[in-house]
Amino acid sequence: MSRRGSAERRLGLLLCAPAVIAMLLVTAYPMLYALWLSLFRYDLRFPDERLFIGIDNYLSVLSSAVWWQAMFNTLVITVGSVSLELVLGFLFALVMHRTLIGRRWVRTSLLVPYGIITVVAAMSWRFAFDPTTGFVNGLLGLEGAWLTERWSAFFVIIQTEIWKTTPFMALLLLAGLTLVPEDLLHAARVDGANARQRFLRVTLPLMRPVIGVALLFRTLDAFRIFDTVFIQTRGAQGTDTVSLIGYNALITRLNLGLGSAVSVLIFVCVLAIALLYIKGFGIDLTRRREQ
Partner 1 sequence: MAGGADHGRTERWVWGAGSVVVIVYALIPVAWILSLSLKRSADLGDNRFFPQLVSLEHYAAVFQDPQFSAALWNSIGIAGISTLAAVLLGMLAAYAIVRLEFPGRRLILAAALSIAMFPPVSIIGPLFNIWRTVGLYDTWAGLILPYITFTLPLAIWILSAFFREIPWDLDKAARVDGATPLKAFVFVIAPLAAPAVFTAAILVFMFAWNDFLFAISLTSTNDARTVPAAIAFFTGSSRFQQPTGAIAAASVVVTLPIIIMVLIFQRRIVAGLTAGAVKG
Query: Footprint of partner 1 on residues 107-166 (CB under 8 A)?
Result: 107-121, 123-125, 127-128, 132-135, 137-138, 163
Residue 182 is inside which H or E element, if any? helix 182-190
By CB under 8 A, is residue 193 in contact with partner 1? no
Is 220 in contact with 273 (CB distance < 8 Å)?
yes
| 221-250 binders of partner 1 (CB under 8 A) | 223-224, 226-227, 230-231, 242-243, 246-247, 250
Q: In the window 67-86, what residues touch partner 1 (CB under 8 A)?
A: none
Report the run of H or E that residue 68 belongs to, with start and end.
helix 65-98
Q: Between residue 257 and residue 276, which ones bind partner 1 under the rule CB under 8 A?
A: 259-260, 263-264, 266-267, 270, 274
Residues 42-71 that bind partner 1 (CB under 8 A): 44
Whole-number minimum distance, CB 238 to partner 1, in Å? 20
* 215 lies in the site for partner 1, by CB under 8 A: no
Q: Which of 170, 162, 159 is nearest to 107 (CA)?
A: 170
Count other Cβ atoms within 10 Å, centred on residue 129.
24
What gap in Å lies between CA 84 and CA 170, rounded to an integer? 12
Q: How far is the CB of 107 from partner 1 (least distance, A)?
A: 6
Q: Which is nearer to partner 1, 22 or 51 (CB)?
A: 22
Cα–Cα distance, 241 to 161 (Å, whole number):
14
Rounded to whole angstroms, the Cα distance separating 259 from 251 reads 9
d(CA 59, CA 57): 5
Comparing CB distances to partner 1, the nearer of 61 and 171 is 171
Nearer to partner 1, 11 or 200 (CB): 11
Question: Which member of 86, 149, 210, 238 binds partner 1 (CB under 8 A)?
Answer: 210
Could you tell me the smallest distance in angstroms from the CB atom of residue 41 to partner 1?
Answer: 14
Contact call for residue 251 and partner 1 (CB under 8 A): yes
Minimum gap (Å) between residue 119 Cβ and partner 1:
4
Q: Could you please report the per-residue DSSP string of 2-45?
A: HHHHHHHHHHHHHHHHHHHHHHHHTTHHHHHHHHHHTTEE-BTT
Question: Whose Cβ is closer to partner 1: residue 59's or residue 285's?
Answer: 285
User: Closest separation between CB of residue 248 and partner 1, Å?
Assistant: 11
Residues from 163 through 192 that contact partner 1 (CB under 8 A): 163, 167-168, 171-172, 174-176, 179
Give the CA-trace dihedral at 264, 269, 275, 277, to 10 degrees.
Answer: -150
Q: Which of 1, 2, 3, 19: binder of partner 1 (CB under 8 A)?
A: 19
Q: How far apart are CA 22 and CA 176, in angstroms?
A: 32
